[in-house]
Structure 1
Amino acid sequence: MMHPEGYDEKTVADPQAWVGRVEEHDGALTPNLAGMMGATLSHAAAPAHDLRIGAPLPPLWHWIAFPEFVPLSELGSDGHPALGRFLPPLPYPRRMWAGGKLEWTGALEVGETLHRRSEILAVTEKQGSTGSMYFVRVGHDLHGKNGSIREEQDIVYLDMPEEFRPPRAIPAPDTPDFREVVPMNEARLFRFSAVTFNAHRIHYDMPYAREVEKYPALIVHGPMQACLLMEAACRHTGQTPKRFRFKGVHPMFHTEDTALVGQMDAAAPAVDLFSVAATSNHQCMQARMEWSA
């Protein structure tokens, strides 16, 4: 089995030894960085945010407030920071953000100093249709002056495939309450990689994506899909989130535009959300936003 660079069987033999590892960082979403994010997510129906210091921080934009300042010499061959710093060096070379859940209390602001405490909560091995995989759950507690976010992030580690074997395609809802299409292309992917300081090569390096990870095209970032769905949910409901959860169910490729689809939950103050490959009409991400206390 292929292992991450620099780690042997003994090093990765006890994944549970990484549970409880903690790191802390301070960060901020400056107006300039917020402007870059707004331009990256822009499309015909996108809102115009107030991005001045003290303005409300758009939901999920805290993700770009804590870039990892990792030297180029410490990146792995996939462009990710080399394993073994905070995340465990598990014996699978592919890793990606599989999903997560968040809960907001109070409000955060553009420009304010944010403090984030991160802890590895669990390392779990599972069997899937493509074989064994590991899920690493990371908890983040983020605080500002008058608000906080509790977040759990699921990261999946997979072996490198010999060929692309897509998961089962789940059709998009037939009668959504809203559906809007966001043009997708290499420029949007490049901008999101830049604003998040994410050098994962599946988002910008076509030869790597095809020849090494066996994807047919570049991958649209999961966090970008989640941000686009969040903005659509807030716009169509007129609400701000109390809770949000999401998970990827199929790769989204840059060769198709992205449809943002929503269905209101008649039994709860919530909306179910789906990012959909606009031409193939199958789900790529499932999400749900709730806004009651």
Structure 2
Amino acid sequence: MSKSQGPMQGEAATPEQAQDWVGRVDSRTGAVSPEFAGMVMGALGHPAAPQPPIHTGAPLPVLWHWVAFPEFVPISEIATDGHPKLGGFLPPLPFGRRMWAGGKLSFKGRFAVGEAITKRSEILSVDFKTGHTGDMAFVRVGHDLRGEGGAQIREEQDIVYLPIPDQFRAPRAIAAPESPVFSEAVEVGPVRLFRYSAATYNAHRIHYDRDYATGAERYPGLVVHGPMQATLLMEAAMRHTGATPTRFSFRGVHPMFDGHLHLQAEADGPTALRLCTVAPEGHQGLQARFEWEG
């Protein structure tokens, strides 16, 4: 079967054209230098969390591989929202909002600070759906990461594309756990959000440009990064269990806004925790599951 004719430059792909992106591959090599690690530590630190060692060769905190592959895109190739323009590795879909919706990971070993890491990424699927907010699309990307010391991560990342609404409509609120095994408060003000954006080289303006977030994208405040919430939950789970994860999954169920949040957990059998971030209003923001070997 012949492939559909692709979109012209600057045009959005149709659902049929978007399938041409399935199977696209990108390979890169990166590392988390002590300098990058220091930036992440400065963005994630809070009173309950001890500072990890960040010298060359120290164990890389889990999920910090997300800063190893920044997209060094010229300003001329940045879209209005601050993301790199679509149409290269990711398909140019006809929606104004793009967000990291969730993902799942499995781990073998640990990377080290300063270690060279190779990453092979592949577009696994592009699916168009209709929900209570209207049409949307999900792009699933698979990542295989290998460190020169033998550690490996298999990751599947879900990216959601949505239309920008005329006003903010909150999703259904999911209540916080009634009896969490731990609950820690973390301040998530503008400085933390800016620092995490800088550490991850993420210029999406909803995280640091309040006028853009509230005016252009109709949010009631600055949006807390989903990956930052996942990383805070990961650190808390490892600290409270003393365990190293074998699997971890997460998904956003409600946007979280600047102010503060709580990290909470419930037991889910002998070797798993159900985790969530909780907004001041009492609803969950990001849900996760942390698993380890018994």
What is the TM-score when the length of structure 1 is the normalising length? 0.95
* Contact 2:13 2:92 (C-alpha < 8 Å) held by counterparts: no
1:107-153 superposed Cα distances (whole Å, 9 cap, x missing partner): 21111100000000000111111001000000000000220100000
Q: 1:176 aligns with which of 169, 176, 180?
A: 180
Moved over 4 A (4+): 9-13
Point out where structure 1 has 5 or more consecutive residues left out of the alignment: none
Residues 55 and 230 of structure 1, relative CA distance in 2, 3 Å threshold = same
Deviation at 1:268, TM superposition (A): 3.5
Task: Supply the distance in 1 between the matched residues of 2:61 and 2:217 (Cα, whole angstroms).
Answer: 33
Q: Is the 8 A contact 1:12 1:91 kept in 2?
A: no
Q: How far apart are residue 6 of structure 1 and its match?
A: 5.1
Question: What letter is aligned with 1:292?
Answer: E
Structure 2 matches for 1:17-56, cutoff 5 A?
17-56=20-59
Q: Deviations over 1:72-106 (max 9, x none)?
A: 11000000000011100011121000000000012
Question: SS of the counterpart of 1:235?
Answer: helix
| 1:99–1:245 contact (8 Å) kept in structure 2 | yes
Contact 1:209 1:215 in 2 (8 A): yes
How far is the alpha carbon of 1:9 from its aligned partner?
5.5
What amino acid sits opposite 1:88 in the alignment? P
State which of 256, 261, 264 in structure 2 corresponds to 1:261.
Answer: 264
Deviation at 1:11, TM superposition (A): 6.5
Paired positions, count: 287
* C-alpha separation in 2, matches of 1:192 and 1:9: 30
Describe the shift of the 1:9–1:240 C-alpha distance in structure 2 as closer, same or farther (beyond 3 A).
Answer: closer
Residue 7 of structure 1 deviates from its aligned partner by: 3.0
CA distance in 2, matches of 1:5, 1:199: 26
CA distances 1:239-272 after superposition (whole Å, capped 9, x unpaired) = 1111000000000000x3110001122x330111
Cα distance between partner residues in 2 of 1:95 and 1:10:
15
Preserved CA contact (<8 Å) 1:24 1:115: yes
CA deviation profile, 1:13-40 (whole Å, cap 9, x unmatched): 5111100000011000001110111111
> Structure 1: which amino acid aligns with 2:240?
H
Listed one character per residue, the Cα deviations across residues 141-167 of structure 1 (whole Å, up to 9, x for unaligned) are: 000022010000000000111111110
Q: Deviations over 1:218-246 (max 9, x none)?
A: 00000000000000000110111110000
Identity %: 58
Amino acid in structure 2 at the alignment position of 1:235: R
Q: Superposed, which structure 2 residues align to 1:1-293 within 5 Å? A: 7-8=10-11, 13-144=16-147, 145-254=149-258, 256-265=259-268, 267-277=269-279, 279-292=280-293
Give the partner amino acid of 1:291: W
Q: Considering only aligned residues, what root-mean-square deviation do their CA atoms show, in Å?
A: 1.5
Structure 2: segments with no counterpart, 5+ residues: 1-6
Secondary structure, aligned partner of 1:16: helix
**1:9–1:61 CA distance, 2 compared to 1 (3 A):** closer
1:33-69: CA deviation from partner (whole Å, max 9, x where unpaired):
1011111101100122111111111100000000000
The one-letter code of the counterpart of 2:145 is L
Aligned partner of residue 245 in structure 2, secondary structure: coil
Structure 2 distance, partners of 1:181, 1:127, is 36
